[in-house]
Each structure stands twice: as C-alpha cells, then as structure tokens.
Structure 1
Amino acid sequence: MSFKIYFIVYCLLFLITLETSAQSLKVISYNIHHGADQNEVNSLEKMGEFIRNSNADLVGLQEVDSVCNRSGNVDQMKVLAEITGMHYVFLRHFEYDGGAYGLGILSKYPIINQQNDTITSIKNGEKKSLALLSAKISLPKGEEMRFATVHFALDQATRLIQAGETLAYLDSDLPVVLTGDFNAEPHTEEMELLSQNYTMADSNLGYTFPVVNPVKKIDYIWGSKDCFLQSPKIQIPLSIKYSDHLPLMADILLTCTSK
C-alpha cells in the first residue's frame, strides 16, 4: 500500500472513530417573545409542538414569562415541558406583571443542577442585573456537559461587559454549549470576545430577526472551542412564525465530555 493511500485510509478511520465517540446533540436557541407572535397572539402551544416535533435534545429559551398577567398567568416553562416531555428549569431576570420574566432550558436528558448567575444591565445610568442560566446535563452514556442560555442588552457597551461576565461564569471543567439572543451581529467586538473560547455553530450566519423577511443574525449557538465540531447541519425554519424571532437549530457534535 502506497503512503498516500495509507494516509487517506488512516484519515477516514480517524474521522469515523471521532464521530462514533462524539456526542451528537440537536440544539435549539429560541427567543419566544413571552409566548406570543409578532402580533401578540398567544402561540405557546404551537411553540411547544414545534419543539416536540423537532426532536431536540436541548433548548435554550429567552423572553419567558412565568405566571404574568399579559400571558394569561401561565407557567410557560411548565407548559412547554408538559407538551414536549422534557426536563426544564427557569430563572427570572426580574419580577414582571404579577409574575416573573426570564430564561428557560428544556432538556431531553436529566438536569443534575441549575446554576443561577447574573450579568450586568445598565438602564438610564442605573446598574442592575439580568439572568444567565446554565444547567449541568447528564448525557446518555453518563457523561456530563453544561448547557446555558442568555439574553444580552441592546447597547454595545453593556454587551461587552456581559460577554466578559459570561465567559467568566461558564469557565468550567465541562464542555459548554451556549445559546441566546445576543442582540449583536457577527464580527462585532462582543461576538469576537466570545469566539476566543467558543465556536459558532452557524458559519453561514443565517438571519434570525425579524420573523418576517429577516435581515439580522442576533441569535446564536456556541460550543466550547476544544470540544466542538462546527455543525454541518443548521436550520432556520422560515415557516415557524410563532414569535418575533425565528428559531435557530443545529445538529452538533461534542468530541469530549470533560476538559
């Protein structure tokens, strides 16, 4: 066997071994706009059906209501968990309209624990905080990972602070998948900061906002740089108009379960 043929065979065997040992995950990041479409029509059940039919393993949700008057005093994460049959956690940003407003995670796999962190929010010159939600997930073969979701601010100065805080909070011995509405387009300084530690799943930079005729990419799925293979399969289903954002879906491979 010539060296060239041997090298090709070796590379193919290496890739097959790598994909066999890697953990395949279907991930969704979705800003659900308090369970309403762009016209404020309640669409929470449709969102749940979409997630269930997607066969997602992990879902990071932003703009989630918990028993708020505006969304019918419904515990939205509980409803979504019931529709999808998934485990769930919720973390509030703040009290709102008789209930709470925040972030949620759905997981097909058991959630070992929930980590509640806060990132800086600056409004009208006043320093406050927003939630950063992450959960330790037990994967099918007993491995563990950390899955997180976040919602960054509208102004860049605050987003830069938040990006640094996010990196610090998610510094972990476990591989991390980070989802969220980052309110920032690719190649901005804050996204470049996150890319020091994480690989962006969607290399094609598909638009996710607004839901009709989208013109911006502000929703992302990231994975730990040393444990993550860039996804060959990304979906932004244009027909899913249940929110004011489109959902971002990625089939990803984690090539390690600890650093």
Structure 2
Amino acid sequence: MSTLRVATYNIHKGVLRDFFGLRRVARIHELRARLHELDSDLIFLQEVQGQNERHQRRFEHWPAEPQDVFLAKSPTLKHTFETAYGRNASYLHGHHGNALLSRYPIIGQENRDVSDHALEKRGVLHCVVDVGGRQVHCFVVHFGLFARSRDRQLDAVLDWIESAVPASEPLIIAGDFNDWRNVLSDRLCKRIGAVEVFDACRPRSAAAQRAVYYVRDRLSELGVSPEAAIPGLPRTVRAARTFPALVPWFRMDRIYQRGFRVRSTAVLKGLEWSRLSDHSPLVADLELIARS
C-alpha cells in the first residue's frame, strides 16, 4: 500500500499585511520553511506568483525564480519536489496561478482557463503523478467569488474529469473552492464518486456513517463506484474551517479523493500560520487502495 500525505494551501502570493494592516510584508521564505516541515508528498497550492516585478523591486531577498520553483527547494536549497504551474491571471508586472509540488514524478499536466467573467481569472491545473506505477490524477482548483461562477466552474471540472480520468484511477481534487455555503459538495461527490476527506474522518452520525463508509470502502476495493452502485448513498460533509486564518470560520478549502482510504486529517491554524496567509492549510494522510 502507498500512503500519501496531501496538503492544500492558498498562499496569498507569499505576501501578507502586518498585524495593524498598515504595510505589506513578504512571508515567502518563512512559508517555504513551514511547507517543508509538513513532510507532504503532494502540495496543492493556489495564488502562486509566477512572476512579480513589483515585489522584486520592493522586497529585499525576493526570489528571482517563480514561486513554485522556489518553494520546491528546501531551505538548504536541496531540490525536493517536482513542480507544475498553471498561469491563471496575467498583468503588466507579472502573473499568478495554481501549482502542484510532488515528490513523485509528474508525467503529464494541463492547465485550463475556467474564468466565468473578465473580473476574475480562474484556472484548474490537472497533473498526472506516477506513484509506484499507479497514475494518480491531481486537480488543483481555485474557484470564483460568485456562486453562479462556481457552479459553472464545477461543471467544467466534472466534465473534464469524466472525459479524461478513467473511473478506476485514483483521483485527488484540492484547493480553494470558495464554497463557504457548502453548495457544491453533494453534486461533486455524487457525480464522480468522490469523498471529502474530513467527511470520511468525522461523520456526523457515528453508527450510521460507519456502516456507510464500510460499504463505500468495500465497493471501492472491488473497483465499483459507490454512488453508481447505491444511488442516494448518504453523506455529510464536515469540511474544515480555514478562513480567515487567525480565527477560521468559513469552510473555503477542501480535499476530495477517490480510490484512497483516509487515515487522518488536520487543519493547521494558530498565530504561526496566520502570519503566512489568510487561509489555513489542510493536510490529509491517504492510503492508496490496491487494484482489485
């Protein structure tokens, strides 16, 4: 069995305002150190700066390389991760988007523009990662601030997954969904047979949900989609509160998976993390289910 530690984090471009909100402070070096302390195998990142000439002029020691490349190196400058970057928003002084850091080979990648209007540039990055000979499909998402935009963006991602990812292959979808009202989860999970990691670990009704997840795991081991086999299979999303990082209340960030057992989950919060971004990172330990 292969066990993966997966994290997702909206890094706010590595820049945050100070405690009083009077000035912007670069946090990218400290952020890199904390990311490497997570000991994650896959890190799904949003708001990653591919280039920012203003920050290079303004902040001392600002990295000359793209942030995904910078973050892939440990503080001792050892290259630890492979990286993939998908540009979403371009402007005169630079661009930003989503990124994946992987300790496993990235054997394929594609970035698609899912922007719903000119005011918000959004994209989804799809990477295929080779984990011990198994192809794991990773989708890094950052959805819009408007509900109708998120609806259309989710439909675009689900259409993509259904056309590009065989139902038998493992799948992870993670990022900033901006779905604080929990409107998208049921549709996402039912359509592609995915489970949100906190839902798997912290069911609301213990006895009933244990039975549900036992059936779900057994069907998954047989290569059968639980939702296809049992229409209306109950589920209750218990997604973590991740925003704002200082006092998390809104459930903005998620990790969905298919083809894994969820061993543990955590939302990382507190002053040390709130100094780095306005979102809290999520971490999950996933065990890859063997082929039947």
The residue aligned with 2:234 is none
The residue aligned with 2:42 is 58
Q: What secondary structure is seen at the aligned counterpart in 2 of 1:170?
A: helix
Matched, 1:175 2:170: yes
Q: What secondary structure is seen at the aligned counterpart in 2 of 1:193?
A: helix
Identity %: 27
Alignment map for 1:51-130 (pairs within 5 Å): 51-72=35-56, 74-83=65-74, 85-123=80-118, 130=122
Cα-to-partner distance string for 1:143-178 (whole Å, 9 max, x where unaligned): 111112010000101100011111111230221101
- Alignment check: 8 A CA contact 1:35 1:42 kept: yes
The residue aligned with 1:28 is 7
Equivalent pairs counted in the alignment come to: 230
Q: TM-score, normalised by structure 1?
A: 0.82
How far 1:49 moved relative to its partner? 1.1
How far 1:231 moved relative to its partner? 4.0
Quote the Cα distance in structure 1 between the aligned partners of 2:25 and 2:49. Answer: 14
Quote the Cα distance in structure 2 between the aligned partners of 1:121 and 1:257. Answer: 38
Q: TM-score, normalised by structure 2?
A: 0.73
| Equivalent AA in structure 1 for residue 128 of structure 2 | K
- Alignment check: 8 A CA contact 1:175 1:257 kept: no
How much is the aligned-residue C-alpha RMSD, in angstroms? 2.0
- Alignment check: 8 A CA contact 2:240 2:253 kept: no
Matched, 1:166 2:166: no
Moved over 6 A (4+): none
Quote the Cα distance in structure 2 between the aligned partners of 1:184 and 1:201. Answer: 16
The residue aligned with 1:251 is 285
- Alignment check: 8 A CA contact 1:119 1:165 kept: yes
Alignment map for 1:91-240 (pairs within 5 Å): 91-123=86-118, 130-139=122-131, 141-171=132-162, 172-173=165-166, 174-185=169-180, 187-188=182-183, 190-196=184-190, 197=192, 198-203=194-199, 204-224=238-258, 227-238=259-270, 239-240=272-273
- Alignment check: 8 A CA contact 1:88 1:107 kept: yes
How far 1:69 moved relative to its partner? 2.4
Listed as ranges, the gaps of 5+ residues in structure 1 are 1-20
Quote the Cα distance in structure 1 between the aligned partners of 2:8 and 2:107. Answer: 21
How far 1:187 moved relative to its partner? 3.1
Cα-to-partner distance string for 1:175-232 (whole Å, 9 max, x where unaligned): 11011100012531x22221222210122422100011111110011102xx132443
Quote the Cα distance in structure 1 between the aligned partners of 2:94 and 2:290. Answer: 39
Listed as ranges, the gaps of 5+ residues in structure 2 are 19-23, 57-63, 200-237
- Alignment check: 8 A CA contact 2:51 2:95 kept: yes
Quote the Cα distance in structure 2 between the aligned partners of 1:256 and 1:48. Answer: 33
Quote the Cα distance in structure 2 between the aligned partners of 1:153 and 1:222. Answer: 18
The residue aligned with 2:33 is 49
Quote the Cα distance in structure 1 between the aligned partners of 2:173 and 2:86. Answer: 15
The residue aligned with 1:9 is none
Quote the Cα distance in structure 2 between the aligned partners of 1:154 and 1:130. Answer: 10
